[in-house]
Structure 1
């Protein structure tokens, strides 16, 4: 038996072995997914699922229990959450506000974004209300239903951007409309997630909700009036080097700001990841900083931290834990999620003046979810408002809707005389 004196070293060895397995599995599946014409991140998500109880835990239960014991859950969870905050900083700093609606295209973009959020959100709330007695007995109905709504309303901008390049749509009108609407959809989705998370943790008390709203308003004012000008001065005092290197003082200060804002958002009950995103927005106007971060830090976040997050998600997802009755609910989740986005995108496209084939392509593009969906589900699970079976179903939906985009486009694009031009790593 290992003595207490050696317990930390034993835990360290176990975590290091886990990291080797996670990173190797993620990169292997990333390559397989790209060879199959799918975004690499889909392969990494699947790797996380394969390492969990859906496959590895089922085929090799003793080895799985040895490799992923409960004693190591704490360190891996912390690494995963830190990585998620770093990822949200990266998303915030790289957020392309130029894709938000402007000029003559504003009405079509706004209509597409609003419909692609509101219709799936409403369907998700209905799905939550309908499924609560069977899938979420004992959980508060309103937070559960609202999280189902947010889960169905999400569109993943990063993966969508890669898909547009892969299929040669990045400069086409339908592609520009899709990415612009998805960017606005992203803003609305994060606002919805923050509001629902605040409601879920604040309960029904009007006083608690008012206090939460005031705290959020105070944080927003501090961000705009104090941190925004501070970040401008920081970037001026420590500019990115001509060779694209991040000054150590700039990097250290950005990390401190990121984690401080994560603590602030956690304290007011809207989850630490929003602090990471808010910190990233402070730096998004500086193209040099964004490029340097992506090159020097971003790749490490994607290669090291993301596989940990995917495996963390996979360990809580048991596909084989769904029984025959659950498969009917899973089919309804998929039909509602896919139908809601396709119909919303199609209707919005027609309202924007697109013909039927182009409107159908817009609907297919808006159906992409991917990593953004898993972040939403992670929040809901950690807050205790998404039970295991619905969590599993929504993870399946996140993968299925993203995988479906490519085949749908290969069917729809020839109808407008357009073919995919090239494949890129995603």
Structure 2
């Protein structure tokens, strides 16, 4: 009994020490990157990388092993996943369908969403096929290539939303199209990821498709016709007052998102997508969404996200990319991923009547990957279909494509005294 208590206390001590380091490093880098004109979350991602073998583990291997161990503690792993479920709820709740009420915006959004998925997926798949023999020997080249395709195709909704707010673009045509297309992009990306994972684990049979697609349809039907009215009644029964969520409603919200996470896990679409589905149920209740953001959302961003970023950083060794082929593929993946997003989206914008600069801004915004990319990469890595070298290359690509967004937007916005980005009008 005494030994068990001692082990529990030791584990608690280790996890608490890890949390102090992770949260402190994330806040420090957040502030630093904000001063550099970058989204703070990019600094938090970099903090996670620096705590891994790319810096801390390289120069202080003994201290790194003592602090983080040979691999992340199960408690840290679970905390990171819970944090992602809560974050996905926030992302889903902040998506406003009403922004797409204008037909011209709907049409452009669909064009942009399609091009931002199809072209990058094809390019990523091609990269996978060409690099499989060099970077992924022993892994099924088809599965590896499919994962590369999804990784290149994804766009990061939460980071994109922050960038739009920072540059005052949330109510412009470009901002509305970008955030809406990114939401479609992410949903399609998750579905593709689920299908590829099923295929990779030899489960993608006719019976599997029938069972899981049927289950998915039932799930969507239940959300729309059962859960959505229930959500409306819950908000009416426990109204938000003075910007605060009643404790009973908060408890019910947590239970709903965790229950839906269990459902989506059972459907093979990953547990974190359940949080997104729960967010969609409550997106119409703006007072609740705002209260969640102020009351819970900040805690999620400050406490949980650094855990996930460090979890990713401990798996990423930038110093491990030393061979000529690896460095070649690092440059090739970054260049190809940027071109595959920016060029097709720019052309889609122009084809739908957007000015040159608006189309360039749209392509730049859709090139933002960051957080969602890291989630996809960790899934592929955990399933064993992304080797460490390509995992690291794609992490670097996610950071590069996100860091470049701010400077390009500033240059485009400063290129003329009267920006062409128009405010959406009914």
Work out whether the TM-score is over 0.5: yes
What RMSD, in angstroms, separates the aligned Cα atoms of the two structures?
2.1
Q: Does 1:145 align with 2:145?
A: yes
Number of aligned residues: 417
- Range moving further from structure 2, 288-297 or 41-50: 288-297
Label 1:296 to 1:264 Cα distance change in 2 as closer, same or farther (>3 A): same
Q: Residue in 2 aligned with 1:192?
A: 192
Pairing of 1:127-146 with structure 2 (within 5 A): 127-146=127-146
Which ranges of structure 1 fall in alignment gaps of 5 or more residues? 420-426
CA apart distance, 1:226: 2.5
Q: Which residue of 1 aligns with 2:422?
A: none
Q: What pairs with 1:1-400 in structure 2 (closer than 5 Å)? A: 3-70=3-70, 73-100=73-100, 102-201=102-201, 203-240=203-240, 242-324=241-323, 325-400=325-400
Query: How many angstroms apart in 1 are the aligned matches of 2:21 and 2:418?
Result: 41
Give the deviation of 1:289 after TM superposition: 1.4
How does 1:407-418 map onto structure 2 within 5 Å? 407-417=407-417
1:198 CA drift (Å): 4.1
Structure 1: distance between partners of 2:304 and 2:102:
35
Q: Residues of 2 paired with 1:251 and 1:361: CA distance?
A: 38
Structure 1 residues 61, 227: CA separation in 2 closer, same or farther (over 3 Å shift)? same
Which whole-Å CA distance do the structure 2 matches of 1:77 and 1:168 have between them? 36
CA distance in 2, matches of 1:205, 1:277: 27
Return the offset for 1:9: 0.5
* Deviation of the 1:4 alpha carbon: 4.6
Q: 1:173 to 1:213 in 2, by over 3 A?
A: closer
Contact in 1 for aligned 2:72/2:311 (Cα 8 Å):
no
CA contact (8 A) 2:96 2:284 kept: no
C-alpha distance 287-169 of structure 1, shift in aligned 2 (>3 A): closer
CA offset digits 1:307-336 (Å, max 9, x no partner): 000000100111111122201111111011
Range with bigger deviation, 200-209 or 311-320: 200-209
Residue pair 1:369, 1:398 contacting (<8 A) in 2 also? yes
Provide the rounded CA distance (Å) in 1 between the counterparts of 2:379 and 2:100. 26
Name the SS of the counterpart of 1:415 in structure 2: coil
Give yes or no for contact 1:116–1:185 (8 Å, CA) kept in 2.
yes
Distance 1:171 1:197 in 2: 37
Shift of 1:33: 0.3
Deviation at 1:236, TM superposition (A): 2.0
| TM-score, normalisation: structure 2 | 0.92
**SS of equivalent to 2:26:** helix
User: Which whole-Å CA distance do the structure 2 matches of 1:153 and 1:320 have between them?
Assistant: 26
Q: Is the 8 A contact 1:100 1:183 kept in 2?
A: no
